[in-house]
Every structure is written in C-alpha cells, then in structure tokens.
Structure 1
C-alpha cells in the first residue's frame, strides 16, 4: 500500500492506516468506481466500529509525544509532506480524476491547493500565541495559553477529497493534535495517498491514521467515542446536524462546513460580460459540485435578457467528456447524484419553471457508461421554487428577475443556507452595503468563487459553524487555558 499508484484497468486493493500499519480491518469491502465509465478502480475496507476505535486509540497514544515537539519541528514535518505531494503531483491528480471525475486540469489545481494548505499551516508554526493579562490582584498575572485539543477526527466530502484532507490535516498537525481521517467511501483514495506520503515525510506512526467505511457505522462510532476531542467535517447539512447531535453527548468540539445555496446577484450597472464569465465558472466548475457554486441567479430586470442570452450560449458551448482529456466538464460523481438532480428539475418544471437550456442526463454514444449531466438553465416563477430553496450541487441553475438591489438581497437571504454569495455591481454605495445586507459567511464581490488560504471560509445559518483557513481557522485547532499566577 505504501506509495501506491493507480493505472487504468488496475483494481487497487487499498487498506487503512492505523498506528503506522496498513491493515485490512475486520469487515468486508467497498468498491470504488470511476464515474466516467463505471469501472471498479479499487476496493477499500468496509471498517467496523472496532476498527474505527483502534485508529482513535492509536492517535491518542501518539499525541503526547507529538505535542511535546516544538511547534517549528511539527511545521517542518508538514513542510516535508508538502514537498512529497509536489514531487508526486501528477500521480495524485490522476487519482483524483479517476475516483471523483473532475477534469484533469481541475484535478491538478486541486493538488496545488493541497500543497498550499499544507505550506500555509506549516508557516504558522511560530504564530501559536497566548496572552498575559493584567490581574486585579497584587503580585499576580493572568496567563492565557493555547493547547492542542488532542485527537482530531476529520470527515471529508467527496467533491474535493484531496484538498479537504490537507485543509484539515495541516493545521491539526502543526498545532500538536494527532489525526484520524474518515475518507469518504465514494472518493477515499486521494486522502489515503496523502496520508501514505505523511509516512514518507517522517511523521511518526500513529500521528496520522486513515479509516474507510460507511459514515453511519464508523463515523458514528468515532464521533460518539470520548477518544475524539475535535470533529471537523465538510459535507451535507443533514450529516452535519447528525454529527452535531451525536457530539453533544460528550460535549465534543465540532466544526462543520456544510451545504450552500449561493445567490448570484447581477445589477443593471454591472460589467455584464465579466459577470457572465464568473457565473459560468461558478456554476460549472467540477460539474457544479462545489459548496460555493452559483446555485441561483437574481438578475436586474434591465439586464436579465442580455445576461441570460449570453449565459445560455456559454453554457451550451461547454465541452463534456472523458475527464482525462481535460474538457470543461466531466461526469457527476454517482448515479444517485444524477437521479437526484433530474428529479429536482422535474419538480421545478411541474411548478411552472421555464426551461431556457434543456440539458439533463446523457446516456447515449460516448455517454453510455458513466454519470453524465449536461448544463440546464431555467427561469423560475418565485423564490419558493424547489431549485431556489434546495441545494442542487450540479450543473443546473435557476434564474429570477428583480427590480432592485434591496429585493435581490431580501430574496437571497430567504434561505436556510448562508455559506457564500456573489454580487456584481459598480455602484460604490451597493458595494459598501453588501456585507451588511447579505447574511452569508463569505461574499464574492465582482468576481468568481475561489477562497484563499489567508481568508476564513465559514458558513452562517445551516451552512455550518466554525470554519477553515487563515489565522481564525488555524486557531480553531487550539483550545485556551487560563492560569492565575500569583507570586506573592
């Protein structure tokens, strides 16, 4: 398993990493398929609860010695991991494409993000800071220190399996925690590959562990267990709520980055061509499988017709095909996802939505195998539409016409989600008001999506709590301790 590769036609027998050993576990096997052609590319252990607890126990044993290292030494180990990733970047990109389906160019971009997340976390090793606060008492000071939580349990989504692993792994290790990854059963191989490279980077046994299997079994067991001290999860709001409820039993620290329903607002004074280009990128990158994607468009009535004409034309022109050939769009990740989206579009049409670009599932010719869905654009009647209120997570987008920025902001906020939002306008007053008018954790003004490592990626409302990236995300992997030091 160490340093595994994956070639076309090969079925990899993957194993789990527990306490420095690659193990098969005590359960059965889960098949991992290539969403472009439905071929089985790997089998992974379908772990039991006992297997999962063994990984937590290994991480707990390794944690005191790892935390005792100077932070700069832990940072050097994470820098070494980044170098290992960079040395095998193309191999990791191919694994991402084979298991997840994103075009190889986008997979290479994801590998770049892996390196960036790791390097940014490693660079913060000398920035773990505390405070000394004046006491009310004589001969005394108040000291506030930061300590690692202990064992970090990371649950990652299937849409960016490598980047999400690194986003959590880097800060967890640099802050002195040990790490257990539950790799998503649809796309487990990317995270497993990164953790295999952690061994090569010299990170001690037990510090990084990987478990595979069903979230309802192994995830539930590890969240319930008092051995996990912090749970960081990226995934659906439904799953996040279950983790939040389960973690409450042991008063566990939980950080959740959940679903999104990003509004894309375009005002009459916007640069229309720039807005159209951003809307296309923000809707169709990774086949629309990004939590910050353009999920619903609110277009000022003065420019709606022009915008939609251009948007539909660009959507229709996108290439769809074998992701190894680097088209604009690859397949959806699974048949379940294709069927879910088709059902949502059908419901919207039943509600009276006007179809502007009739895309939908593809299943003939070059698409007779795999999970394909072509761009679909609809004009909906009102904000209560199925497509406006529910996360699509695919290449389908509804549009509504508005008469003012105030109306657009009100409709955008009328959602259970609050992750990301887009606003295109050149009116400075609107630009200045946007952060106050929009109830979202992340706002893109006059640009497409793509958060940066020095920012803070966080959701409001049912899009989660906590967050990742930058100094605020890094600080989330530490807990505070106050000492009242009296020398009198």
Structure 2
C-alpha cells in the first residue's frame, strides 16, 4: 500500500485509493471519484471515493464495534501502539513529506517539518497513557467517598483541514486513541492522501481493525452524515469558521459535544521599544510560512508610529526577497491550495484598495512563465488607516498583510480586540508591564510574546469567540477526549 502513496507523490499516472474501514481497504469503485490535484501544477495525482452517507455509517458501525474492546485495553498498551505509529511516521518521513507536497503544495522542507510535528503529536499522546488520572475526594457522609473517573466518549469523529493534513490528523487521533476512543477520520477532499497514508501505517503497526477508520468525500455528504449520526459521540473539527457554524448546528439536535478550531485574524503588535530586526523576521515567518495558510498566521499588523517607517522598509525588503516557486526546490513560498482560494485573496485586496487601503508592495496573482500552471500569489503589503477595510477584518489565509499605524499601546490593544476572531496574537515589546496588561486585556486564546508562531505540543491551542470552542494539545487537550464519571461509593 505504501508504494501506491509513493507513486502518487511522484505524480505521473494518477493512483486510485479506496477508503479504510474496519481494518480493510474498500474496493476502488470507478464511479463518484474525487480528484486530488497538485496545487503547483494542477495535475491530478490521485483519486479517492466520493463517499456517501452509507460509507459514513459503515465507518461508524466499525468504530462502535471496536471501541469497547479498545477501551478495555490497558492504557499503557494503547499508548504503546500509538507510540509504534509515531515510530512508523518517523521511519517514513520522506515518503509522507512528499505526499504532503503533492496534495497540499507546501515547500518540501516545510512538509518535512509537518511530518516531524505529526510524529511529535502521536509521541506526546503515547507518553500520556500512564498519566490518565482521576480524583478521590471526601464525602459529607460517613463511610463514603466520591470517585471521579475519566472515561472515553466512545466514537470520535475527526474532521481535518487541508493546510496541515498529516499533522492535524495526528493531533486529534493520538489523544483520542490513548483516551480509549475509536476514531473515524474525514479528511478534507483537497488533501485526503495524508490521512489514508497514516491509516496504512496504523494497519502495519497492529492497531486493531475498526479502531481507526478513514472515509473520503465532501463535507456536505460524508461529513454531515458523520456529525448527525447517533453513533458518533464526539466531533472534533479544524477548519473555517463558516464550516464550524454548520457543524455546530448539525450536532445541536442531538446535543452532541463539538470541539472546533476555526479561523483566525491574528494581530501582530510592534511597540516603540521592540527589537525591530527580530520583530521583522518573526512577522515574515508568521505571515508567509505555508503561503500564509495557517490559522495562527500574522493577519494584520499594528505598528507604533515611532518605529513604523523603519519596520515597514525592512519588512517590504524582506518580502521582496522571498522566492515563490516549485515546492520541491524548497522556496520560501509555494502555491495556494486552489484557484478559488487565490480568487478570494484577489477579491479581498481589490475591495480593500477600493475602501482606501494603499498598496505598499504589489505582488499579486502570478500567471506567466513558471507560474502558468498552478495557483500562485506573491507577497503583498497594504497600509490602512483603520480597521474598517476588508483586509483588516476578514481572514485572508494567504501572503497578504495589511498594516495600521498606532500612536500608543492602548490603541493597539483596542484595535487588536476589535475582531470577531480570537485565536492567536503577537506582541513585540520590552515592557514587562505591558506583558501583564496583555494577560488581562488581549482577548485571544494564544499569545506569542516576543516570538514567532509555532505552538508546542505541551501547550494548549484554543480559540476564543468565532475562532472556536474546546482546544488541542497538552494535558488540557487530552482531557477533552474524556468524559467524567462521578461515583458516590458508600460502604457503611
């Protein structure tokens, strides 16, 4: 099976994959195939089934059947198997990185980094298996104690986004399995190959049939069926805020627990006492990594007037120097995921300039020469007077960044909070008092203080407002895959 993924990653004739349900690869039906395109070339590298509600239910049935036995497996054994999966990801890093490049388009070195993160997510979950704890507390009654146990939900449905197809799968799969849940993955239709490749590795290391299943197709067919079914017990999704609202509504009829990691509009605040060169490099990384397709990306900058001119000059010079090109050549910026995603960026920039934003660096859509095929957009920098222009309010998810100049820290704080999103924020200042002010006044779930983006596995990645509910990573993230069962134990 791994040879098929290698063939898909190397392009040429498209490879055809089936779904992975109950430990078996479904036959590769000829009808209703979804084409997986290479964003850099537009070539079809693979096809997967355009699944149906029946496929979704088959995966849930398999997961429901397998879950009790998996939950009864001692937690350290569950952790051992997840650790073996982490080993397999490490041992197949090069193959998996090329799969990510083929279906998602990020530069190869960044794809290799994603596979490294995939291993770490699984490894951390595996190591947590011996740290699943409950509580015993005294009762008001004699000869009685209160026991609180952490127990699995049952069947977890994971819906992943296209920007980090391997890492997002592992981020949800690892803790869900270690907690004793079975798992059904519906990978995004743009990038289904990474999830299927991880399933092939899970099969190889001996994770029992039905414990991990992968279905393919669109969100409105397969995804909706998974969310609405009475046989899914918890839904965890990473994706757009629009999709999150639809999933939240779909699960409401059954009062289903829903965990959502959604869009972001991260402010990047630079004060007059900041290390400017360090802040510029951080801003470059936080805006342009993965072609700006990260929910924690630097989406809008607020620069103190005293340093704005210097910062802008240096930032534009660095932006101009970035190379946009073939992902396999390790450029700074690869392609956007799809043509419609480029269209969205073009529209946001056009509406922003019509609303008064000034173009400081016009990169724009690339369509000639080496860029005649694929989905390309070069770094673009805008200067706005306030938060009103679309580029300051809407998630761009691409290599465009708007700037607003501010007069003081409180203005920057107020403008940063003037958003429906609340995922991540960046602040560069040498003032410790401002740091403490931020802990109280900046309404975001994750704040990077004098550093660039890149959350760590032992932290907690969570959004506020329209950026989601719940969270991932660390002990707080693991805890979200458990229900709590309270027992009043009386022995009088």
Distance 1:471 1:364 in 2: 49
Aligned twin of 2:12: 9
CA–CA distance in structure 2, aligned partners of residues 2 and 34 of structure 1 = 19
Residue correspondence of structure 1 range 56-67 to structure 2 within 5 A: 56-67=60-71
Is residue 2:21 matched to residue 1:18?
yes
Q: 1:486 aligns to what?
A: 490
**2:453 equivalent among 431, 449, 454:** 449
User: Could you tell me which residue of structure 2 aligns to residue 381 of structure 1?
Assistant: 385
CA contact (8 A) 1:287 1:395 kept: yes
What is the TM-score of this pair, normalised by structure 2?
Answer: 0.98
Secondary structure in 1 matching 2:136: strand
Partner residue, 1:167: 171
Find the aligned partners of 1:434 and 1:253 in 2 and give their Cα distance.
31
Aligned equivalents of 1:395 and 1:297: distance in 2?
13
Distance 2:2 2:217 in 1: 20
Task: Evaluate the alpha carbon distance shift between residue 2 and residue 279 of structure 1 in structure 2; reply closer, same or farther with a 3 A threshold.
Answer: closer
Partner residue of 2:417 out of 402, 413, 419: 413
SS of match in other structure, 2:299: strand
Asked if 1:83 corresponds to 2:81, the answer is no
1:24 and 1:406 map into 2 onto residues whose CA distance is 60
Q: What is aligned with 1:333?
A: 337
Cα distance per residue 1:263-301 (max 9 Å; x no partner): 000000000000000000000000000000000000000
Distance (whole Å) between structure 2 residues aligned to residue 203 and residue 10 of structure 1: 31
- Contact 1:48 1:217 survives alignment (8 Å): yes
1:355-402 residue CA offsets vs partner (Å, 9 max, x unmatched): 000011000000000000000000012111100010000000000000
1:10 deviates by: 3.1
CA contact (8 A) 1:3 1:196 kept: no
Matched, 1:115 2:113: no
- Match of 1:315? 319
Residues 121, 457 of structure 2: 8 Å contact kept: yes
Displacement of 1:454: 0.3
Aligned residue for 2:439, secondary structure, equals helix
After TM superposition, the structure 1 = structure 2 runs for residues 297-316 of structure 1, keeping only pairs within 5 Å, are 297-316=301-320
| 1:129-278 equivalences in 2 (<5 Å) | 129-278=133-282
Deviation at 1:207, TM superposition (A): 0.5
* Maintained 8 Å contact 1:110/1:163: yes
Gapped regions of structure 1 (runs ≥ 5): none
Task: Tell me, yes or no, if the aligned pair for 2:16 and 2:28 is still in contact at 8 Å.
Answer: no
Secondary structure class of the residue paired with 2:349:
helix
Is 1:370 the counterpart of 2:374? The answer is: yes
Alignment partners' CA distance in 2, 1:288 and 1:310: 19
Offset at residue 432 of structure 1 (A): 1.8
Find the aligned partners of 1:218 and 1:107 in 2 and give their Cα distance. Answer: 27
Which deviates more from structure 2 when the two are superposed, residues 83-92 or residues 20-29? Answer: 20-29
What SS does the aligned partner of 2:106 have?
coil
- Distance change in 2, residues 1:324/1:2 (3 Å): closer
Q: Distance in 2 between matches of 1:38 and 1:286?
A: 18
Residue 462 (str. 1) matches residue 466 (str. 2): yes
Match of residue 28, structure 1, among 27, 32, 35: 32
Q: 1:3 to 1:470 in 2, by over 3 A?
A: farther
CA contact (8 A) 1:3 1:197 kept: no
Q: Deviations over 1:64-93 (max 9, x none)?
A: 000000000000000000111111100000
Counterpart of 1:286 in structure 2 is 290
Give the Cα separation in 1 of the matches to 2:205 and 2:329. 32
- Count of residues in correspondence between the two structures: 488
Find the counterpart in structure 1 of residue 46 from structure 2: 42
Q: Give the Å deviation of 1:328.
A: 0.4
CA shift at 1:120, angstroms?
Answer: 0.2
Within 2, Cα distance between the matches of 1:347 and 1:356? Answer: 16
In structure 2, C-alpha distance between the alignment counterparts of 1:346 and 1:404, rounded to whole Å: 29
Give 4+ residue runs of structure 1 displaced > 6 Å after superposition: none
Aligned to 1:350: 354
Note the C-alpha offset of 1:24: 4.0
Distance, in Å, in 1 between the alignment partners of 2:487 and 2:11 is 58
Whole-Å Cα distance in 2 between the matches of residues 424 and 409 of structure 1? 12
After TM superposition, the score normalised by the length of structure 1 is 0.99
Could you tell me whether the CA contact under 8 Å between 1:33 and 1:40 is conserved in 2? yes
Change beyond 3 A, Cα 1:228–1:423: same
Deviation at 1:8, TM superposition (A): 2.5
Which residue is 2:429 aligned to? 425
Q: Tell me the distance in 1 between the aligned counterparts of 2:130 and 2:91.
A: 26
CA contact (8 A) 1:59 1:178 kept: yes
